[in-house]
């Protein structure tokens, strides 16, 4: 089951493209966190969605909110991906155990071996305030994320 709005967000710790740990619960009481699960780095729709965040970063990452993206790619793939595309936000590696965080959030695609397109806005208390799930090949509209952030 996918984590729904109104539920407590499952806590996790993953490493970003700089091999630094990111722990969701470290943001409690400080900032909301927008979590963007995507299937794979270097693919068309995924790149386009993350470039939308990059191009309007001040909306998604500021004093009130932190944005992170999550895929099953390795830290090393994320490093190259972030450098190539100029991403200035954490790209988290749900590499091993393979897709464990995506499974916690109910967005892991068992047949394909990667995360579906799940997006979760977690407020400062750790409660999910916005949740969406799209399958592979179904792009998301970043405006819905802006609207969810504005509604916090």
Instruction: Report, as residue numbers or ranges, the catalytic residues.
Output: 46
List of long-range contacts for 86-89, beta carbons under 8 Å, 24+ apart: 86/54, 87/17, 87/50, 87/53, 87/54, 88/54, 88/57, 88/61, 89/53, 89/54, 89/57, 89/60, 89/61
């Amino acid at each position: 089951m996918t984590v729904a709005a109104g539920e407590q967000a499952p806590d996790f710790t993953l490493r970003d493209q700089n091999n630094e740990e990111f722990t969701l619960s470290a943001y409690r009481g400080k900032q909301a966190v927008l979590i963007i699960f995507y299937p794979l780095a270097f693919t068309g729709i995924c790149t386009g969605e993350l470039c939308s965040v990059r191009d309007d970063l001040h909306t998604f990452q500021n004093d009130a909110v932190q944005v992170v993206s999550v895929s099953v790619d390795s830290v090393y793939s994320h490093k190259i991906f972030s450098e190539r595309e100029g991403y200035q936000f954490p790209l988290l590696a749900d590499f091993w155990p393979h897709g464990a965080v995506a499974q916690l959030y109910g967005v892991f695609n068992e047949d394909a071996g990667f995360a579906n397109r799940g997006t979760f806005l977690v407020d400062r208390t750790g409660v999910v305030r916005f949740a969406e799930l799209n399958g592979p090949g179904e792009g998301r509209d970043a405006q819905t994320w802006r609207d969810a952030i504005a509604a916090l």
